Structure 1
Amino acid sequence: MTNPVPKHLILVCCHAIYLGGPSNGLHEEEWLIASFQSGETATFTQHAQAGLNLLSNDPSGLLIFSGSKTRKEVQKSEAQSYLDLCLHNDFWGLLDNCTQKEEIVRERIALEEQALDSFGNLIFSTMLFWKRTGQWPAKITIVSHEFKRERFLDLHVGAMRWPRGKVEYLGIDPVYMTEGSREWDGERTQAVRKGEKERGLGVWERDRFGTGQFLRGKRRERNHWQVGQMLFGSEEERLRSQVRSEIIEYEDGLREEVLKDERQPWEMDL
Protein backbone atom coordinates (compact mmCIF):
# COMPACT_ATOMS: atom_id res chain seq x y z
CA MET A 1 0.00 0.00 0.00
CA THR A 2 1.33 3.43 -0.91
CA ASN A 3 1.70 5.76 2.03
CA PRO A 4 -0.52 8.86 1.85
CA VAL A 5 1.12 12.19 1.07
CA PRO A 6 1.71 13.88 4.42
CA LYS A 7 -0.62 16.74 5.29
CA HIS A 8 0.29 17.37 8.93
CA LEU A 9 3.61 18.98 9.87
CA ILE A 10 4.63 17.85 13.34
CA LEU A 11 7.41 20.24 14.31
CA VAL A 12 9.66 19.43 17.26
CA CYS A 13 11.85 22.41 18.09
CA CYS A 14 15.24 21.23 19.31
CA HIS A 15 17.16 23.03 22.06
CA ALA A 16 20.40 21.12 22.70
CA ILE A 17 22.66 18.38 21.34
CA TYR A 18 22.54 14.82 22.59
CA LEU A 19 25.99 13.21 22.22
CA GLY A 20 25.16 9.63 23.13
CA GLY A 21 26.28 7.52 26.08
CA PRO A 22 25.47 4.48 28.21
CA SER A 23 22.31 5.99 29.71
CA ASN A 24 20.87 6.84 26.27
CA GLY A 25 20.23 10.43 27.25
CA LEU A 26 19.05 9.99 30.84
CA HIS A 27 22.19 11.57 32.27
CA GLU A 28 22.76 15.26 31.63
CA GLU A 29 26.47 14.78 30.93
CA GLU A 30 25.52 13.05 27.67
CA TRP A 31 24.22 16.38 26.35
CA LEU A 32 25.75 19.67 25.25
CA ILE A 33 23.60 22.28 26.98
CA ALA A 34 23.84 25.92 28.00
CA SER A 35 24.34 26.65 31.70
CA PHE A 36 20.75 27.91 32.05
CA GLN A 37 19.44 24.58 30.71
CA SER A 38 20.64 22.55 33.66
CA GLY A 39 17.97 20.05 34.66
CA GLU A 40 16.09 20.35 31.37
CA THR A 41 17.35 17.41 29.30
CA ALA A 42 14.41 15.28 30.44
CA THR A 43 12.14 17.96 28.97
CA PHE A 44 13.94 17.76 25.63
CA THR A 45 13.32 14.01 25.67
CA GLN A 46 9.63 14.65 26.40
CA HIS A 47 9.45 16.95 23.37
CA ALA A 48 10.83 14.19 21.15
CA GLN A 49 8.42 11.66 22.65
CA ALA A 50 5.48 14.01 22.15
CA GLY A 51 6.36 14.33 18.46
CA LEU A 52 6.55 10.56 18.11
CA ASN A 53 3.18 10.16 19.82
CA LEU A 54 1.59 12.57 17.36
CA LEU A 55 3.22 10.76 14.45
CA SER A 56 2.11 7.30 15.57
CA ASN A 57 -1.50 8.47 15.83
CA ASP A 58 -1.69 10.34 12.51
CA PRO A 59 -0.99 8.50 9.22
CA SER A 60 -0.85 11.89 7.48
CA GLY A 61 1.91 13.23 9.72
CA LEU A 62 5.46 14.17 8.82
CA LEU A 63 7.63 14.62 11.92
CA ILE A 64 10.41 17.18 11.54
CA PHE A 65 13.10 17.66 14.14
CA SER A 66 14.37 21.21 13.70
CA GLY A 67 17.69 22.66 14.85
CA SER A 68 21.05 23.49 13.31
CA LYS A 69 24.70 22.85 14.28
CA THR A 70 24.81 25.28 17.18
CA ARG A 71 27.87 24.15 19.15
CA LYS A 72 31.52 24.58 18.23
CA GLU A 73 32.46 21.41 20.13
CA VAL A 74 30.82 19.09 17.61
CA GLN A 75 29.71 19.28 13.99
CA LYS A 76 26.36 17.73 14.72
CA SER A 77 22.95 19.33 14.42
CA GLU A 78 20.43 19.49 17.20
CA ALA A 79 17.96 17.79 14.85
CA GLN A 80 20.27 14.85 14.15
CA SER A 81 20.96 14.45 17.85
CA TYR A 82 17.24 14.20 18.65
CA LEU A 83 16.83 11.49 16.03
CA ASP A 84 19.86 9.71 17.50
CA LEU A 85 18.21 9.93 20.92
CA CYS A 86 15.09 8.29 19.48
CA LEU A 87 17.08 5.57 17.75
CA HIS A 88 19.18 4.80 20.83
CA ASN A 89 15.99 4.33 22.84
CA ASP A 90 14.20 2.35 20.11
CA PHE A 91 11.65 5.19 20.04
CA TRP A 92 10.59 4.23 23.59
CA GLY A 93 8.16 1.76 22.01
CA LEU A 94 6.04 4.64 20.74
CA LEU A 95 6.10 3.40 17.15
CA ASP A 96 5.39 -0.23 17.99
CA ASN A 97 1.80 0.11 16.80
CA CYS A 98 3.07 1.16 13.37
CA THR A 99 3.75 -1.47 10.75
CA GLN A 100 7.03 -1.26 8.84
CA LYS A 101 8.76 0.90 11.45
CA GLU A 102 11.89 1.30 9.34
CA GLU A 103 9.80 2.73 6.52
CA ILE A 104 8.14 5.13 8.96
CA VAL A 105 11.55 6.40 10.06
CA ARG A 106 12.77 6.74 6.49
CA GLU A 107 9.69 8.36 4.97
CA ARG A 108 7.89 10.14 7.80
CA ILE A 109 10.71 11.61 9.91
CA ALA A 110 12.87 14.40 8.52
CA LEU A 111 15.68 16.60 9.81
CA GLU A 112 15.67 20.37 9.40
CA GLU A 113 19.27 21.46 10.08
CA GLN A 114 19.35 25.18 9.26
CA ALA A 115 17.26 26.85 11.97
CA LEU A 116 19.17 28.98 14.45
CA ASP A 117 16.20 30.41 16.37
CA SER A 118 12.51 29.78 17.03
CA PHE A 119 11.25 31.64 13.94
CA GLY A 120 13.73 29.64 11.88
CA ASN A 121 12.31 26.42 13.33
CA LEU A 122 8.91 27.33 11.89
CA ILE A 123 10.05 28.81 8.57
CA PHE A 124 12.67 26.25 7.56
CA SER A 125 10.51 23.29 8.64
CA THR A 126 7.57 24.53 6.59
CA MET A 127 9.84 24.93 3.56
CA LEU A 128 11.22 21.42 4.11
CA PHE A 129 7.70 20.01 4.30
CA TRP A 130 6.95 21.56 0.89
CA LYS A 131 10.21 20.23 -0.58
CA ARG A 132 9.41 16.72 0.68
CA THR A 133 5.74 16.61 -0.31
CA GLY A 134 5.20 19.24 -3.01
CA GLN A 135 2.44 20.92 -0.98
CA TRP A 136 1.97 23.09 2.08
CA PRO A 137 0.79 21.39 5.27
CA ALA A 138 -2.91 21.45 5.98
CA LYS A 139 -2.03 21.58 9.67
CA ILE A 140 1.02 22.38 11.79
CA THR A 141 1.55 21.19 15.34
CA ILE A 142 4.44 22.87 17.14
CA VAL A 143 6.08 21.05 20.05
CA SER A 144 8.21 23.24 22.30
CA HIS A 145 8.18 24.85 25.74
CA GLU A 146 4.84 26.01 27.10
CA PHE A 147 6.34 29.35 28.14
CA LYS A 148 7.09 30.05 24.46
CA ARG A 149 3.47 29.56 23.34
CA GLU A 150 2.75 33.28 22.96
CA ARG A 151 5.96 33.86 21.02
CA PHE A 152 5.08 31.19 18.47
CA LEU A 153 1.35 31.68 18.11
CA ASP A 154 1.04 35.44 18.46
CA LEU A 155 4.27 36.50 16.75
CA HIS A 156 5.91 33.85 14.55
CA VAL A 157 2.71 32.44 13.05
CA GLY A 158 1.43 35.95 12.40
CA ALA A 159 4.69 37.18 10.86
CA MET A 160 4.68 34.17 8.56
CA ARG A 161 1.06 34.96 7.64
CA TRP A 162 0.15 31.36 8.38
CA PRO A 163 -3.60 30.75 8.96
CA ARG A 164 -4.02 30.68 12.74
CA GLY A 165 -6.75 28.04 12.55
CA LYS A 166 -4.29 25.59 10.98
CA VAL A 167 -1.82 25.64 13.87
CA GLU A 168 -1.83 23.81 17.19
CA TYR A 169 0.70 24.11 19.97
CA LEU A 170 1.85 21.43 22.40
CA GLY A 171 3.84 23.04 25.19
CA ILE A 172 5.89 21.07 27.72
CA ASP A 173 7.85 23.01 30.32
CA PRO A 174 10.63 21.72 32.59
CA VAL A 175 9.27 20.02 35.68
CA TYR A 176 10.68 22.74 37.94
CA MET A 177 8.06 25.05 36.41
CA THR A 178 5.19 22.80 37.50
CA GLU A 179 3.75 24.16 40.71
CA GLY A 180 3.05 21.41 43.21
CA SER A 181 5.72 19.06 41.89
CA ARG A 182 8.68 18.00 44.04
CA GLU A 183 11.02 19.88 41.69
CA TRP A 184 8.98 23.10 41.73
CA ASP A 185 11.27 26.13 41.85
CA GLY A 186 9.22 29.31 41.97
CA GLU A 187 12.20 31.64 41.82
CA ARG A 188 13.70 29.97 38.78
CA THR A 189 10.30 29.80 37.09
CA GLN A 190 9.79 33.50 37.60
CA ALA A 191 13.25 34.21 36.16
CA VAL A 192 12.54 32.08 33.07
CA ARG A 193 9.22 33.77 32.40
CA LYS A 194 10.74 37.20 32.91
CA GLY A 195 13.58 36.31 30.54
CA GLU A 196 11.13 35.15 27.90
CA LYS A 197 9.12 38.34 28.21
CA GLU A 198 12.16 40.60 27.95
CA ARG A 199 14.65 38.72 25.75
CA GLY A 200 12.29 36.48 23.79
CA LEU A 201 8.77 37.76 23.33
CA GLY A 202 9.69 41.39 23.80
CA VAL A 203 12.49 41.36 21.25
CA TRP A 204 10.41 39.51 18.65
CA GLU A 205 7.52 41.95 19.16
CA ARG A 206 9.84 44.76 18.06
CA ASP A 207 11.48 42.76 15.26
CA ARG A 208 8.89 40.35 13.86
CA PHE A 209 11.13 38.95 11.09
CA GLY A 210 14.28 38.81 13.20
CA THR A 211 16.35 40.91 10.82
CA GLY A 212 17.47 43.46 13.42
CA GLN A 213 20.97 43.55 14.80
CA PHE A 214 20.22 41.78 18.09
CA LEU A 215 18.42 38.71 16.74
CA ARG A 216 20.62 38.22 13.70
CA GLY A 217 23.60 38.62 16.03
CA LYS A 218 22.32 35.73 18.13
CA ARG A 219 22.02 33.58 15.00
CA ARG A 220 25.53 34.54 13.95
CA GLU A 221 26.90 33.53 17.37
CA ARG A 222 25.22 30.14 17.11
CA ASN A 223 26.31 29.44 13.54
CA HIS A 224 29.75 28.02 14.31
CA TRP A 225 29.75 25.83 11.19
CA GLN A 226 28.55 28.48 8.73
CA VAL A 227 25.31 26.70 7.87
CA GLY A 228 23.60 28.45 4.92
CA GLN A 229 20.51 30.49 5.63
CA MET A 230 18.86 30.35 2.21
CA LEU A 231 15.29 29.06 2.11
CA PHE A 232 15.73 27.41 -1.29
CA GLY A 233 18.49 25.64 -3.14
CA SER A 234 17.93 27.51 -6.39
CA GLU A 235 15.99 30.35 -7.96
CA GLU A 236 13.96 27.80 -9.91
CA GLU A 237 12.88 26.13 -6.69
CA ARG A 238 11.92 29.46 -5.12
CA LEU A 239 9.84 30.45 -8.16
CA ARG A 240 8.10 27.10 -8.19
CA SER A 241 7.19 27.49 -4.52
CA GLN A 242 5.65 30.95 -5.15
CA VAL A 243 7.05 32.07 -1.79
CA ARG A 244 7.68 35.80 -1.56
CA SER A 245 11.17 36.19 -0.14
CA GLU A 246 14.29 38.29 -0.45
CA ILE A 247 17.99 37.84 0.18
CA ILE A 248 19.49 40.33 2.62
CA GLU A 249 23.21 40.96 2.78
CA TYR A 250 23.90 42.75 6.05
CA GLU A 251 26.79 45.12 6.56
CA ASP A 252 28.39 42.63 8.97
CA GLY A 253 28.68 40.11 6.13
CA LEU A 254 25.78 37.86 7.15
CA ARG A 255 23.62 36.73 4.22
CA GLU A 256 20.10 35.41 4.76
CA GLU A 257 16.93 34.75 2.81
CA VAL A 258 13.85 36.04 4.63
CA LEU A 259 10.13 36.13 3.97
CA LYS A 260 8.52 39.30 2.67
CA ASP A 261 5.47 40.65 4.46
CA GLU A 262 3.35 39.92 1.40
CA ARG A 263 0.67 37.40 0.49
CA GLN A 264 2.16 33.92 0.59
CA PRO A 265 1.11 30.75 -1.26
CA TRP A 266 -0.27 29.10 1.88
CA GLU A 267 -2.83 31.93 2.07
CA MET A 268 -4.15 31.39 -1.46
CA ASP A 269 -7.01 29.09 -0.48
CA LEU A 270 -8.39 31.51 2.10
Structure 2
Amino acid sequence: MEPPNHLIIVCGHAIWAGGPTKGEDESEWIIEDWKKGETPTYTAHIKAGVKALSEDGQAVLILSGGPTVSSTPISEGRSYANLAASNDYWDLLSPTPSSASTATTPTLSPSPPHPLSPIPLHPRVVVEERALDSYQNILFSITQFWRSTSHWPGHLTIISHQFKRRRLTEAHCTAVAFPLDRVKFVGINPPGVIPKI
Protein backbone atom coordinates (compact mmCIF):
# COMPACT_ATOMS: atom_id res chain seq x y z
CA MET A 1 0.00 0.00 0.00
CA GLU A 2 1.31 3.42 -0.98
CA PRO A 3 1.47 6.05 1.76
CA PRO A 4 -0.67 9.16 1.37
CA ASN A 5 0.99 11.68 -0.96
CA HIS A 6 -1.67 14.31 -1.64
CA LEU A 7 -2.42 17.04 0.88
CA ILE A 8 -5.72 18.87 0.44
CA ILE A 9 -5.86 22.07 2.50
CA VAL A 10 -9.07 23.95 3.22
CA CYS A 11 -8.19 27.34 4.67
CA GLY A 12 -10.52 28.43 7.47
CA HIS A 13 -12.20 31.84 7.48
CA ALA A 14 -14.84 31.57 10.22
CA ILE A 15 -16.20 29.34 12.98
CA TRP A 16 -19.32 27.22 12.73
CA ALA A 17 -20.69 26.96 16.27
CA GLY A 18 -23.07 24.10 15.52
CA GLY A 19 -26.80 23.98 15.11
CA PRO A 20 -29.78 22.21 13.56
CA THR A 21 -29.39 23.66 10.05
CA LYS A 22 -25.87 22.23 9.79
CA GLY A 23 -24.38 25.51 8.66
CA GLU A 24 -27.14 26.76 6.38
CA ASP A 25 -28.38 29.41 8.81
CA GLU A 26 -25.83 32.18 9.20
CA SER A 27 -26.79 32.57 12.88
CA GLU A 28 -24.91 29.30 13.54
CA TRP A 29 -21.64 30.97 12.52
CA ILE A 30 -19.35 33.25 14.51
CA ILE A 31 -18.37 35.86 11.95
CA GLU A 32 -17.41 39.50 11.75
CA ASP A 33 -20.05 41.88 10.39
CA TRP A 34 -18.11 42.36 7.16
CA LYS A 35 -18.33 38.61 6.46
CA LYS A 36 -22.14 38.49 6.54
CA GLY A 37 -23.49 36.66 3.50
CA GLU A 38 -20.27 34.68 3.03
CA THR A 39 -21.05 31.56 5.07
CA PRO A 40 -22.32 29.56 2.04
CA THR A 41 -18.87 30.16 0.54
CA TYR A 42 -17.17 28.61 3.58
CA THR A 43 -19.42 25.58 3.28
CA ALA A 44 -18.57 25.40 -0.45
CA HIS A 45 -14.85 25.40 0.43
CA ILE A 46 -15.35 22.48 2.82
CA LYS A 47 -17.47 20.55 0.29
CA ALA A 48 -14.80 21.12 -2.38
CA GLY A 49 -12.21 19.66 0.00
CA VAL A 50 -14.36 16.63 0.73
CA LYS A 51 -15.01 16.15 -3.00
CA ALA A 52 -11.28 16.28 -3.77
CA LEU A 53 -10.67 13.75 -0.98
CA SER A 54 -13.31 11.43 -2.43
CA GLU A 55 -11.55 11.50 -5.81
CA ASP A 56 -8.10 10.45 -4.54
CA GLY A 57 -7.54 7.46 -2.28
CA GLN A 58 -3.99 8.69 -1.54
CA ALA A 59 -5.17 12.06 -0.23
CA VAL A 60 -5.54 13.49 3.24
CA LEU A 61 -7.84 16.46 3.87
CA ILE A 62 -6.61 18.98 6.42
CA LEU A 63 -9.07 21.60 7.62
CA SER A 64 -6.86 24.45 8.79
CA GLY A 65 -7.46 27.34 11.14
CA GLY A 66 -6.81 28.24 14.73
CA PRO A 67 -9.01 29.62 17.50
CA THR A 68 -9.64 33.14 16.21
CA VAL A 69 -12.34 34.46 18.55
CA SER A 70 -12.37 34.68 22.32
CA SER A 71 -16.06 33.77 22.67
CA THR A 72 -15.44 30.06 21.97
CA PRO A 73 -12.59 27.57 22.45
CA ILE A 74 -13.33 25.97 19.08
CA SER A 75 -10.94 26.61 16.20
CA GLU A 76 -11.82 27.37 12.60
CA GLY A 77 -10.36 24.01 11.51
CA ARG A 78 -12.23 22.03 14.18
CA SER A 79 -15.51 23.79 13.33
CA TYR A 80 -15.07 23.01 9.63
CA ALA A 81 -14.43 19.34 10.47
CA ASN A 82 -17.52 19.30 12.69
CA LEU A 83 -19.62 20.83 9.91
CA ALA A 84 -18.44 18.23 7.39
CA ALA A 85 -19.09 15.36 9.83
CA SER A 86 -22.50 16.77 10.81
CA ASN A 87 -23.45 16.81 7.13
CA ASP A 88 -22.14 13.22 6.76
CA TYR A 89 -19.58 14.59 4.30
CA TRP A 90 -22.48 15.39 1.93
CA ASP A 91 -22.50 11.67 1.00
CA LEU A 92 -19.29 12.18 -0.97
CA LEU A 93 -17.12 9.85 1.13
CA SER A 94 -17.46 6.14 1.57
CA PRO A 95 -18.12 5.00 5.11
CA THR A 96 -15.10 4.65 7.33
CA PRO A 97 -12.83 2.07 5.72
CA SER A 98 -13.01 -1.38 7.28
CA SER A 99 -9.96 -3.48 7.99
CA ALA A 100 -10.69 -5.39 4.77
CA SER A 101 -10.25 -2.27 2.64
CA THR A 102 -6.99 -1.04 4.13
CA ALA A 103 -4.94 -2.78 1.45
CA THR A 104 -5.82 0.02 -0.98
CA THR A 105 -6.73 2.88 1.33
CA PRO A 106 -4.00 4.59 3.32
CA THR A 107 -4.68 4.67 7.01
CA LEU A 108 -3.60 7.29 9.45
CA SER A 109 -3.13 6.95 13.13
CA PRO A 110 -6.67 7.26 14.47
CA SER A 111 -7.40 10.67 15.89
CA PRO A 112 -8.17 10.50 19.57
CA PRO A 113 -11.67 11.62 20.53
CA HIS A 114 -11.84 15.36 20.92
CA PRO A 115 -14.24 17.10 23.31
CA LEU A 116 -15.02 19.73 20.66
CA SER A 117 -15.79 17.15 17.94
CA PRO A 118 -18.99 15.38 18.98
CA ILE A 119 -19.03 13.23 15.82
CA PRO A 120 -15.98 11.06 15.05
CA LEU A 121 -14.12 12.30 11.98
CA HIS A 122 -13.42 10.27 8.85
CA PRO A 123 -9.94 8.70 9.18
CA ARG A 124 -8.53 10.74 6.27
CA VAL A 125 -9.79 14.04 7.68
CA VAL A 126 -7.34 15.85 9.94
CA VAL A 127 -7.68 19.13 11.83
CA GLU A 128 -4.91 21.73 12.00
CA GLU A 129 -5.65 24.18 14.83
CA ARG A 130 -2.72 26.59 15.07
CA ALA A 131 -2.89 28.68 11.88
CA LEU A 132 -3.89 32.30 12.35
CA ASP A 133 -3.19 33.50 8.80
CA SER A 134 -2.93 32.13 5.27
CA TYR A 135 0.84 31.55 5.41
CA GLN A 136 0.37 29.45 8.53
CA ASN A 137 -2.52 27.56 6.85
CA ILE A 138 0.02 26.29 4.31
CA LEU A 139 3.04 25.78 6.57
CA PHE A 140 1.21 24.19 9.50
CA SER A 141 -0.89 21.94 7.24
CA ILE A 142 2.25 20.59 5.58
CA THR A 143 3.81 19.83 8.96
CA GLN A 144 0.52 18.33 10.22
CA PHE A 145 0.48 16.05 7.15
CA TRP A 146 3.97 14.83 8.09
CA ARG A 147 2.90 14.31 11.72
CA SER A 148 -0.13 12.31 10.59
CA THR A 149 1.54 10.21 7.88
CA SER A 150 5.32 10.24 8.55
CA HIS A 151 5.72 11.44 4.94
CA TRP A 152 5.89 14.80 3.21
CA PRO A 153 3.17 15.48 0.63
CA GLY A 154 4.03 15.02 -3.03
CA HIS A 155 1.44 17.53 -4.16
CA LEU A 156 -1.01 20.02 -2.71
CA THR A 157 -4.54 21.10 -3.45
CA ILE A 158 -5.38 24.39 -1.75
CA ILE A 159 -8.99 25.52 -1.38
CA SER A 160 -9.79 29.11 -0.48
CA HIS A 161 -11.08 32.34 -2.01
CA GLN A 162 -10.09 32.76 -5.67
CA PHE A 163 -8.80 36.28 -4.95
CA LYS A 164 -6.18 34.72 -2.61
CA ARG A 165 -4.73 32.43 -5.31
CA ARG A 166 -1.49 34.33 -5.93
CA ARG A 167 -0.83 34.92 -2.23
CA LEU A 168 -1.38 31.26 -1.29
CA THR A 169 0.48 29.75 -4.22
CA GLU A 170 3.14 32.13 -5.52
CA ALA A 171 3.93 33.76 -2.16
CA HIS A 172 3.30 31.14 0.53
CA CYS A 173 4.11 27.91 -1.32
CA THR A 174 7.26 29.56 -2.67
CA ALA A 175 8.18 30.72 0.84
CA VAL A 176 8.01 27.14 2.17
CA ALA A 177 9.86 25.86 -0.93
CA PHE A 178 6.97 23.74 -2.20
CA PRO A 179 7.23 23.35 -6.01
CA LEU A 180 4.47 25.30 -7.75
CA ASP A 181 4.15 22.67 -10.49
CA ARG A 182 2.79 20.33 -7.81
CA VAL A 183 0.18 22.78 -6.50
CA LYS A 184 -3.46 22.89 -7.60
CA PHE A 185 -5.68 25.74 -6.46
CA VAL A 186 -9.47 25.64 -6.15
CA GLY A 187 -10.83 29.15 -5.75
CA ILE A 188 -14.39 29.91 -4.68
CA ASN A 189 -15.12 33.58 -4.02
CA PRO A 190 -17.84 34.95 -1.76
CA PRO A 191 -20.84 36.63 -3.39
CA GLY A 192 -20.17 40.08 -4.78
CA VAL A 193 -16.46 39.57 -5.41
CA ILE A 194 -15.77 40.31 -9.05
CA PRO A 195 -12.89 38.23 -10.38
CA LYS A 196 -10.07 40.10 -12.10
CA ILE A 197 -9.67 39.36 -15.78
2:77 alignment partner, SS class: helix
Larger Rg: 1
Residue number in structure 2 paired with 1:29: 27
1:116/1:102 CA distance change after superposition, 3 Å? farther
Q: CA RMSD in A?
A: 1.9
Distance 1:28 1:106 in 2: 25
Residue number in structure 2 paired with 1:169: 185
Residue number in structure 2 paired with 1:108: 124
Unaligned regions of 5+ residues in structure 2, if any?
Answer: 100-106, 108-120
Alignment deviations for residues 125-180 of structure 1 (CA, whole Å, 9 cap, x no partner): 00011111111100000000000001111211111111111111100001323xxx
Higher helix share: 1
How many Å apart are 1:53 and its aligned residue? 0.3
Taking structure 1 as the reference length, what is the TM-score of the superposition? Answer: 0.62
2:62 alignment partner, SS class: strand
Identity %: 41
Residue number in structure 2 paired with 1:145: 161
Distance 2:170 2:154 in 1: 19
1:4–1:59: 8 Å Cα contact kept in structure 2?
no
Residue number in structure 2 paired with 1:198: none
Q: Tell me if 1:117 matches 2:120.
A: no
Distance 2:86 2:28 in 1: 12
Q: Which of 102, 105, 130 does residue 146 from structure 2 map onto?
A: 130
Residue number in structure 2 paired with 1:220: none
User: When the two structures are aligned, how many residues end up with a matched partner?
Assistant: 176
Distance 1:19 1:123 in 2: 26
Whose relative contact order is higher, 1 or 2, with alpha carbons under 8 Å and at least 6 apart?
Answer: 2
Alignment deviations for residues 15-72 of structure 1 (CA, whole Å, 9 cap, x no partner): 1000111211101110001111110000000000000000001000000000001110
1:147 alignment partner, SS class: helix
Letter paired with 1:18? W
1:168 alignment partner, SS class: strand
